[in-house]
Chain A
Amino acid sequence: MNLLRKAIAATAVTFCGVLAVSCGLESGGALPLSVEPGSIQPVPELEGVPITVGSKDFTEQVTLGYIIEFALSAAGADVRDLTNIQGSNSTRDAQLDGQIDVTYEYTGTGWINYLGNEIPIPDPTAQFEAVRDEDLERNGMVWVDPAPMNNTYALAMSRQTAEETGITTLSEYADLVNRDPAAATTCVETEFNVRQDGFPGMAAKYGFDPARANRQILQTGIIYQATADGTQCKFGEVFTTDGRIIALDLVLLEDDRQFFPKYNPAITMRKDFAEEHPQVAEVMAPISAALTNEEITELNRRVDVEGEEPADVARDWLVQKGFVTLP
């Protein structure tokens, strides 16, 4: 009886496993929309080459994933879609294992999370070069085409708070904390509150006592709204490319002493793939160059605030910039 039960259980587990593998882990689905060449012209070497593009599971990453997909599709490749993988680590593993070929990865994530470094490099170019060299040497991962956009931590305030206080930089914010902590109520997430590249590190770098700063711990979504309201939270922790910054008219404080790590996305590929298809880097170079904070924040806003589909938003942007055309 017991044996029979075990056998049934084992069969069920195997069946579910097979089901999950056959549905979820095949190497990507087809593109949801089609595009025609624009300034990206068909590349003979990429014609019909199967390329799987991946991304992590948040808005910006999914949009960036679709941007790669449409660009390579316009260049003639047979693109498979594997965007929306749960979390950074799974995406990285999928790429190391060869389930995905191309993805946009952030320099800061590579440097701190994947390569295990604790101290970020302040200069974006130097940070990119450091990640590129170390990741190639240790893991055979190629980094090319870094984009100017930088999705990192920042403090933000409402337009009204900005006008009242006249503060524009984190140094001036630190002065305010030292002078009048009650006027500098700052809302942060649990994680940022203790991270060394978060609030404690920022306080050390800018020379104020973190214990003196009047801090409130809130949920991420609430921070944006409460900072925009400006009564409970004069300053709030945000991500620099979040669409809600535009939607709620928040003003970012400049990180004038270059404290926060740089999170510039760059194209990553395994070495064998990159050497076999050097054209991918050429196709993606002008696109990366066009990805500024303003551009990506607007794309994020259209998805998160307007409720549009990331694939639509990505294709619209590529069409608007002339990289591809509509069929």
Chain B
Amino acid sequence: MTAAVTTKPTAPAARRSERARLLVQPILVLFLVVGVLGWAFSRDLTATQKGSLNAANIATLTWQHVLITVVVVVIVVIVAVPLGILLTRPGFTKLAPVFIGIANIGQAAPAIGLLVLLFLATGTTGFWIGVLPIAFYSLLPVLRNTILGLQEVNPAVIDAGRGQGMTAGLVLRKVEFPLAVPYILAGLRTSLVLAVGTATLSFLVSAGGLGILIDTGYKLRDNVTLVVGAVLAVALALLVDWCGALAEEFLGPKGLR
């Protein structure tokens, strides 16, 4: 329990500030969204700008962006957590560097390159072509933290479990995994923010998202559209990070809260 313990003793002060952040962050998001939309719609927009900046279009693009992010996170969790567990089981630990290496490549390669490569390889465009490379791109933090979290479990605790007659599976479920959850959630929070950011590139392969506003604004030197797209993406990243913080607050093992 050494690693977990070292982070916890300072808890009261750190926890108070974390709690305060949980309260402030959604207010900041609301402020950003209302502020940027109010600013944009109170201006005299040209016909071209109205083509991008209308309620229906902004809602559609934001929804596409949220959907991309959610699906990416689901894929990341489904792939990285079981893989991380497998790679810490006896007999499989030697494979860990291989998979970490692959995930490293995924994160090191430019996301835009992954998107275009997948398009060239499949010859198709659309939602999944935009989602899969971003999932690959955001895989590493969760995979690494799952492995790390399981490795950090004190062997004495596992021994105690086995000594009580628990099977290896039961020890994993009742002891190891709950203790690794804070690590996994911390990794997931990093992945989430990465996913929101890189989802602004999904539009390149017809997957939509707020990147459309950013690119339209950039190409046309239309800073209003550009700023609306960028600020909404920032607000979404903050919101998603907030959800991650909530999860950390309420999904961690009770004894460590």
* Residues of chain A at the chain B interface (Cβ within 8 Å): 187, 189-191, 193-196, 200, 216-219, 221-222, 225-226, 229, 231-233
Contact = CB atoms under 8 A, between A and B. Distances in A.
B165 to A, nearest CB: 58
A196 B219 CA distance: 14
A218 B125 contact: yes
Given A193-B51, A222-B119, A217 B208 contact: yes
Contacts of B176: none
A232 B125 contact: yes
B236 to A, nearest CB: 19
B61 to A, nearest CB: 10
A191 B203 CA distance: 13
Given A190-B219, A217-B208, A200 B51 contact: yes
Most B Cβ at <10 Å: residue of A200, A216, A229: A216
A216 B212 contact: no
A56 B126 CA distance: 34
B25 interface: no
B48 A194 contact: yes
Main secondary structure of the interface of B (DSSP, over half): helix
A196 B206 contact: no
6 contacts: A190-B212, A190-B215, A216-B125, A222-B125, A232-B123, A232-B206
B120 interface: yes
Nearest to A189: B219
B22 interface: no
Contact of B203 (A190, A195, A200): A190
Given A190-B203, A194-B216, A226 B125 contact: yes
Nearest to B47: A196
Given A190-B215, A194-B220, A231 B123 contact: yes
Contacts of A229: 123
B51 A222 contact: no
Contacts of B212: 190, 217
Given A195-B220, A232-B124, A187 B51 contact: no
B52 interface: yes
